[in-house]
């Protein structure tokens, strides 16, 4: 079972609607699948800082070669406020906690 508070938090982070029973079942199946990682024996395995620990990573210089193109970039925006992109376009309205509790009780 997924707590209502966790469901609300995940919806806000992922911008995914879990209001129906199919969405809740899909989330529960994903959690069960990920829980299989707890069965892996990791005794004696040191945590990694990077998947490329055995290679030297070279960083490029961060030189600004172009700029001052705000107006040109904002032409690509579907929706904007002042000089800012509004994202994501078509965001789903999130239900109130009471509505989520009703859906969760039915699953």
Q: Which domain holds residue 23?
A: 1-40
Instruction: Specify the residue for token string 């109130």.
Output: 96
The predicted pLDDT at position 36 comes to 92
Of 38, 22, 39, 31, residue with least CA distance to 3: 31
**Looking at residue 41, what is its pLDDT?**
92
Residue 8 lies in a domain: yes
**79-96 confidence digits (pLDDT tens):** 888 888 877 645 566 666
Decide if 62 is inside a domain: no
Given a cut of 70, is residue 21 above it in pLDDT?
Answer: yes
**In this predicted structure, what is the pLDDT of residue 62?**
80
Residue 69 lies in a domain: no
Of residues 75 and 104, the one with the higher pLDDT is 75
Q: Is residue 16 part of a domain?
A: yes
Distance of CA 104 to the CA centre of its chain: 21
Domain annotation covers residue 26 = yes
Under 8 Å between Cβ of 88 and 15: yes
- CA-CA distance, 92 to 66, in Å (whole number)? 36
Give CA separation, 20 vs 23, 34, 86, 95, 107, in Å: 5, 22, 27, 11, 9
Where does 33-107 show beta strands of DSSP type E? 80-81, 84-85
Residue 60 within a domain: no
Q: What is the pLDDT of residues 26-85, one digit of tens each?
A: 888 888 999 998 999 989 988 877 767 677 777 888 887 888 888 888 888 888 888 888
- Structural domains in the chain (count): 1
- Ramachandran angles phi, psi of 81, nearest 5°: -130, 120
| Confidence check: pLDDT of 17 > 70 | yes
């Amino acid at each position: 079972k997924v707590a209502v508070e966790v469901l609300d938090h995940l919806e806000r982070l992922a911008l995914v609607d879990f209001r129906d029973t199919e969405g809740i079942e899909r989330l529960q199946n994903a959690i069960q699948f990920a829980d299989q990682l707890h069965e892996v024996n990791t005794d004696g395995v040191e945590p990694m800082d990077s998947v490329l620990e055995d290679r030297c990573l070279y960083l490029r210089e961060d030189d600004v070669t172009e700029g001052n193109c705000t107006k040109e970039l904002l032409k690509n925006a579907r929706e904007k406020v002042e000089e800012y992109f509004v994202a994501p376009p078509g965001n789903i309205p999130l239900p109130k906690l009471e509505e989520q509790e009703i859906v969760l009780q039915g699953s």
